[in-house]
Amino acid sequence: MPWLCHRRTGHVPEEENQVRKEGYLRGKAPRLSAGNAGPSVRAYAGRLPGGETGYTFETTVEPMHRDYMGRDGYIWREGMRGVLAVEGFEDEWVMIPVEVLSGEE
């Protein structure tokens, strides 16, 4: 079952092109985790709402559900089935395979 998701990219518009080209979405540990959270990929559930900058994608990797400031979201953590380690980066990163469906709505 594919999961439909979106990312808002306001300050990093080139992210969509990189993800579309490579077929993977990367993530690292949150900046404000006090060192107690491992790397993860985070996204909002559903299509990108109109008027927002970002892109819609789908993945076959099953996520955990998570609330992001009152919005339904997904998270893929290190060690979950289908979440891959990224080699060659200074920090720890993980990635999931995705297909970008659309850009800014």
Q: What is the pLDDT of residues 74-87, one digit of tens each?
A: 999 999 999 999 88
Q: What is the pLDDT of residue 36?
A: 63
Q: What is the pLDDT of residue 59?
A: 97
Task: Please choose, from the candidates 77, 85, 84, 104, the residue with its C-alpha nearest in 3D space to the C-alpha of residue 20.
Answer: 104
Q: How confident is the model at residue 105 (pLDDT cuts 50, 70, 90)?
A: very low
Q: Which residues contact 21 (CB under 8 A, 6 or more apart)?
A: none
Confidence (pTM): 0.85
Phi, psi at 68, each rounded to 5°:
-115, 95
pLDDT digits (tens, 9 = 90+) for 7-58: 887 766 688 889 999 999 999 887 765 556 789 999 999 999 988 889 999 9
pLDDT (average), residues 80-101: 88
